[in-house]
């Protein structure tokens, strides 16, 4: 039977009655090191003596049978120590994160996507390994690849069964509605483009043990993958990560393969082995955000109230399930965004294609669901000739209409207030008029403006993942060693947890030593994902610290001679009445008195439950909200886009660290802008990714950051018992960028007749913008230009 963790702390209140670090803009613990270049990533750590280097050989075809894999010339190449294929894997040749058995480490007989790893080369240096890869003689008996979601849907090729969330009778609702619209929205994928690519260093230890330094959001999964590949118990493998140079979901499940291949090299050669993917290989060989073909049908009335909605999400999952079950579930969970829909059918298909296996990416499928309904609302507002902001406000969740299609009450709904706040701060109404004037006066440049909301569910929808552990030591000099299961990828998790632990002991953050995440200290951890890293790990660490503090409290009462309930830890001291003692001195005395100064902590999210069979429950502990107003200018002759001004009001509850949170909001927004405007993935007819380098794949740069960019934290405590009234912040802000897509829609809609739907896909690249303009105005603009 599972035992409920004893909550010896109040999630909202600190025992000292004073918070010195929590809620303060404490700098990221590694900020200076990031800037100075002294923060160590996998590839920066001193290589152990005799370290070898691994390069990966990939499939030249997207689909077929391996007829010949001749590695003689590879083996004979200069510097090469060994080569390995699937046949050399001692244990399990699969790293599927859900145990689906469809993610081979190295392909056996069959290849399923272009670039799929077939073999590794282990050489004395990285360049020799990479050069040798090119000498392989590979013949594939090719079969016709399935490349798009729609083609896979026609072929009924799936990675897992369909999943729908349905309430009422959407089809009947649409048929009976006074007005109807339907259409198709293509939603592009996204490359993670973490600055530090996939990397791992495997060091063989005595007795067959294996140590792996890895760049992963999920050390416990890397540990498991390596152990299963080696056919060894988990206890013989240690996975460690100090930090990632970004993960964004791309290192949730997909860091495992590279760690496993480094460990395979280490096992075969008996030497330390490092594998760092080249950027092109990284882009070709690792999965991305899922792209979707989305079909929508909506019924509404003349006022713009949505009466019924049908959405069919066809997700391109790639060749395997990976995390697609959860990712696409989150798409349908978020197909309502912040809107009440009495009759809705949100249906989803997880389609198997001969492309790289798509995976987690900031928002985990949620952004695609939210984009779909926001696009539908844009079309409805356009058809009615109404201000889209009014249509949105009219359809938000509210009293008497506050239950989601999956039966969860939107108990903490602040969407109307957040929307109103951003409308006011941005001066939306006045600016809409100015924009109308501008558009009247300018033939070729057109402006658009839009406000869109975000409501994002916080918790893993896989309920068992909502748990975390921590380990805290206090050394005899009063310094504190902090460890937990969460990983640092730049999002500021480590410093937030350190703030919480410092306040538990009433000491400065400087007392707390942040240490690398390792499976040897905290076992069986969940990935740092679903934005829940702080909610989970800060509570676990706080509980660990609170246990030590409880012991120290009893001891302080003894030596300072007073009642334990009067003992306070503050200002780096322990205080009792008018007596006090430095924290370090108390700890030192406690050591001599033989008091344990180390503790673990464990936390699991309360209240959540989810029944996927009936698609009903409370999958989320709470929702995080936000809204953004974006203004854009498009050049109708070139399709060029500029984002002129962005105003954001975002809900992080009572912020644990406003500096970090504002950074997350700005970064998330710009990353979302990239997804929706410039980042375009192109595969050719043979299933080869043509955009596998920054020369052809355009991520936003500093010059794309809106010239005017205002971020405001909505002042509101989390009503649920999350740590100190805060809310998760990692993913939700990405979806604020949907306002940019809507603003582009708005600019184009201004040129169109109401009966012409606007076929604006995502990403809204210059080509996509021009195509949409062509569709609504005929070729007039193009003609004028020629
Ligand atoms: N911020 C930075 N700088 N780098 C990242 O890789 N990943 C995002 C988000 N913010 C990421 C980031 C994603 S996908 C998630 S799920 C969360 O951070 C994970 O961390 P958290 O749970 O601590 O918020
Ligand atoms: Mo984030 S996509 O949950 O790693």
pLDDT, tens digit (0-9, with 9 covering 90-100), for 137-155: 999 999 999 999 999 999 9
Note the pLDDT tens digit of each residue in 658-685.
999 999 999 999 999 999 999 999 999 9
Cross-sheet strand order for the sheet of 199-204? 80-85, 117-123, 52-58, 273-276, 199-204, 210-214, 237-241, 517-518
> What would the pLDDT profile of 695-749 be if each residue is shown by its tens digit?
999 999 999 999 999 999 999 999 998 999 999 999 999 999 999 999 999 999 9
Cβ 728 under 6 angstroms from ligand 2: no
d(CA 673, CA 739): 9
Tokens of 644: 């002129």
Other beta carbons within 10 Å of 397: 24
Q: Quick one: which ligand is closest to 218's CA?
A: 2
For the Cβ of 252 lying below 6 angstroms from any atom of ligand 2, the answer is: yes
**Ligand 2 pocket check for 362: Cβ under 6 Å:** yes
∠673-674-678 over CA atoms, to 5°? 120
The predicted structure's pLDDT at residue 6: 56
Q: In whole angstroms, how far apart are CA 554 and each of 103, 543, 558, 686? A: 53, 17, 6, 70
Nearest atom (ligand 2) to Cα of 528: 4
Residue 5 scores a pLDDT above 60: no
d(CA 318, CA 332): 19
Q: Residue length, the chain?
A: 786
> What CATH fold (topology level) applies to the domain 31-39+467-604?
Aldehyde Oxidoreductase; domain 4 (3.30.365)
Distance CA 55, CA 117 (A): 10
For residue 490, report the distance from its CA to the centre of ligand 1, in Å.
7
What the block records as the tokens of 179 is 């007005």
Average pLDDT over residues 319-329: 98
With 80 as the cut, is the pLDDT of residue 462 above it?
A: yes
For residue 562, the CA-to-ligand 1 centroid distance in Å is 45
Ligand 2 atom at shortest distance from the alpha carbon of 527: 4
In this predicted structure, the answer to whether residue 39 has a pLDDT above a threshold of 70 is yes
> Which residue do the tokens 């050989």 mark?
57
Pairing between β-strand 512-514 and β-strand 480-484 as defined by DSSP bridges: parallel
**Alpha-helical runs (H) found in 58-148:** 72-76, 126-133
497 CB-side CA count, 13 A: 38
Looking at residue 9, its pLDDT comes to 87
Give the pLDDT band (50/70/90) at residue 7.
Answer: low
Find the Cα–Cα–Cα–Cα dihedral 459, 462, 464, 466, rounded to 10°.
-20
Rounded to whole angstroms, the Cα distance separating 21 from 375 reads 42
Burial class of residue 186 in the structure, from the number of CB atoms within 10 Å of its CB (0-12 exposed, 13-18 middle, 19+ buried): middle
Provide the β-strand partners of residue 213: 201, 240
pLDDT on residue 784:
42
Nearest alpha carbon, ligand 1 atom 7? 248
Q: Please tell me the distance between residue 311's alpha carbon and the centre of ligand 2 in angstroms.
A: 24
For atom 4 of ligand 2, the residue with the nearest CA is: 249
Rounded to whole angstroms, the Cα distance separating 499 from 503 reads 6
Number of Cβ within 10 Å of residue 76's Cβ equals: 10
Share of the chain above pLDDT 70, in %: 98
Pocket test for ligand 1, best of 330, 531, 539 (most atoms within 8 A of CB): 531
pLDDT grade, residue 128 (50/70/90)?
A: very high
Q: Which whole number is the average pLDDT over 487-503? A: 98
Shortest-distance atom of ligand 2 to CA 530: 3
At 747-786, the pLDDT tens digits run 999 999 988 899 999 999 999 999 999 999 864 444 444 3
Average pLDDT of the chain is 96
Helix H or strand E segment including 499: helix 493-505
Whether 487 lines ligand 2, by a CB cut-off of 6 Å, is no
pLDDT tens figures, 543-595: 999 999 999 999 999 999 999 999 999 999 999 999 999 999 999 999 999 99
Confirm or reject: Cβ of 271 under 6 Å from ligand 2: no
**Rounded CA separation 647/661 (Å):** 16
pLDDT over threshold 60, residue 392: yes
Angle of the 428-441 helix axis to the 415-426 helix axis, nearest 10: 50
For residue 251, the ligand 1 atom closest to its alpha carbon is 6
The 10 Å Cβ neighbour count of residue 594 is 6
pLDDT at position 749: 96
> What is the model's pLDDT at position 77?
98
pLDDT digits (tens, 9 = 90+) for 394-403: 999 999 999 9
For residue 85, how far is its CA from the centre of ligand 2 (angstroms)? Answer: 31
Residue 595: strand, helix, or coil:
coil
Distances in Å between the Cα of 727 and the Cα atoms of 39, 538, 641, 657, 718 are 28, 12, 33, 11, 6
- If you search the block for the tokens 């890293």, which residue do you land on? 533
Would you name the residues annotated as active-site residues? 731
Which residues line ligand 1 at a C-beta cut-off of 6 Å? 246-249, 362, 489-491, 493, 528-534, 664, 667, 728, 730-731
The helix (H) or strand (E) run that includes residue 626 is strand 622-635
Pairwise CA distance, residues 40 & 53, whole Å: 19
């Amino acid at each position: 039977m599972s035992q409920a963790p004893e909550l010896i702390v109040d999630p909202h209140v600190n025992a000292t009655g004073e918070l010195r670090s929590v809620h303060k803009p404490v700098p990221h613990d590694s900020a200076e090191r990031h800037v100075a270049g002294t923060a160590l990533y996998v590839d920066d750590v001193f290589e152990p003596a005799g370290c070898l280097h691994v390069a990966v050989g990939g499939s030249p075809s997207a689909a077929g049978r391996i007829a010949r894999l001749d590695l003689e010339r590879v083996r004979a190449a200069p510097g090469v120590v060994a080569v390995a294929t699937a046949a050399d894997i001692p244990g399990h040749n699969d790293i599927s994160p859900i145990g689906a058995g469809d993610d081979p480490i190295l392909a056996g007989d069959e290849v399923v996507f272009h670039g799929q790893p077939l073999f590794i080369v282990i050489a004395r240096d990285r360049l020799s390994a990479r050069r040798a890869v090119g000498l392989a003689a590979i013949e594939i008996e090719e079969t016709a690849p399935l490349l798009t979601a729609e083609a896979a849907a026609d072929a009924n090729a799936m990675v897992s069964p369909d999943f729908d969330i349905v309430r009422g009778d959407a089809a009947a609702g649409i048929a009976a509605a006074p007005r109807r619209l339907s259409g198709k929205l293509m939603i592009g994928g996204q490359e993670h483009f973490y600055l530090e690519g996939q990397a791992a260093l495997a060091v063989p230890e005595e007795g067959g043990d294996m140590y792996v330094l890895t760049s992963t959001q999920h050390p416990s999964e890397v540990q498991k993958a390596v152990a299963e590949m080696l056919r060894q118990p988990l206890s013989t493998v240690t996975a460690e990560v100090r930090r990632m140079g970004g993960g964004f979901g791309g290192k949730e499940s997909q860091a495992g393969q590279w760690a496993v291949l480094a460990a395979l090299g280490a096992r075969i050669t008996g030497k330390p082995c490092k594998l760092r993917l080249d950027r092109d290989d990284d882009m070709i060989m690792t999965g991305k955000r899922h792209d979707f073909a989305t079909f929508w049908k909506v019924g509404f009335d003349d006022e713009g109230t949505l009466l019924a909605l049908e959405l069919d999400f066809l997700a391109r999952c790639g060749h395997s399930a990976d995390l697609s079950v959860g990712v696409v579930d989150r798409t349908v969970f978020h197909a309502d965004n912040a809107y009440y829909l009495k009759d809705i059918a949100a249906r989803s298909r997880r389609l198997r294609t001969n492309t790289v296996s798509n995976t987690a990416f900031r928002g985990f499928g949620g952004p695609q669901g939210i984009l779909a309904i926001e696009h539908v609302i844009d079309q409805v507002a356009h058809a009615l000739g109404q201000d889209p902001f009014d249509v949105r406000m009219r359809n938000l969740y509210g009293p008497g209409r506050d239950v989601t299609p999956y039966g969860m009450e939107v108990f903490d709904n602040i969407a109307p207030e957040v929307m109103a706040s951003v409308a006011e701060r941005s001066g939306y109404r006045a600016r809409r008029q100015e924009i109308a004037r501008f558009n009247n006066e300018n033939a070729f440049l057109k402006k658009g403006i839009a406000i869109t909301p975000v409501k994002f569910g916080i918790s893993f929808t896989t309920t068992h993942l909502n748990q975390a552990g921590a380990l805290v030591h206090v050394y005899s000099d009063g310094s504190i060693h902090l460890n937990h299961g969460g990983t640092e990828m730049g999002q500021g998790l480590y410093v937030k947890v350190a703030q919480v632990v410092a306040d538990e002991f009433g000491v400065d953050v400087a007392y707390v030593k942040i240490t690398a995440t390792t499976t040897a200290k905290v076992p069986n951890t969940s990935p740092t994902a679903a934005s829940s890293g702080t909610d989970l790990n800060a509570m676990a660490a706080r509980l660990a610290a609170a246990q030590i503090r409880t012991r120290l409290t009893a001891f302080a009462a003894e030596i300072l001679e007073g009642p334990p309930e009067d003992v306070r830890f503050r200002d780096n001291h322990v205080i009792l009445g008018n007596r006090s003692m430095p924290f370090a001195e108390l700890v030192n005395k406690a050591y001599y008195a033989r008091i344990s100064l180390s503790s673990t902590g464990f936390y699991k999210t309360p209240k959540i439950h989810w029944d996927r069979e009936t698609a009903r429950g409370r999958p989320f502990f709470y929702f995080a909200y936000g809204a953004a107003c974006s203004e854009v200018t498009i050049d109708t002759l070139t399709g060029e886009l500029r984002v002129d001004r962005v105003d954001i009001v975002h809900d992080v509850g009572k912020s644990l660290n406003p500096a970090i949170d504002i950074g997350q909001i700005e970064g998330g927004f710009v990353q979302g802008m990239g997804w929706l405007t410039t980042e375009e993935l192109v595969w050719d007819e043979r299933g080869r990714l043509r955009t596998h380098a920054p020369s052809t794949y355009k991520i936003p740069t500093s010059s794309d950051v809106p010239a005017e960019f205002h971020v405001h934290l909505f002042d509101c405590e989390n009503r649920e018992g999350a740590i100190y009234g805060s809310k998760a912040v990692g993913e939700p802000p990405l979806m604020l960028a949907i306002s940019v897509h809507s603003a582009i829609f708005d600019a184009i809609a201004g040129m169109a007749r109401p009966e012409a739907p606007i076929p604006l896909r995502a990403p809204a690249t210059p080509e996509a913008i021009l195509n949409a303009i062509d569709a609504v105005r005929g070729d007039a603009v193009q003609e004028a230009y020629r």
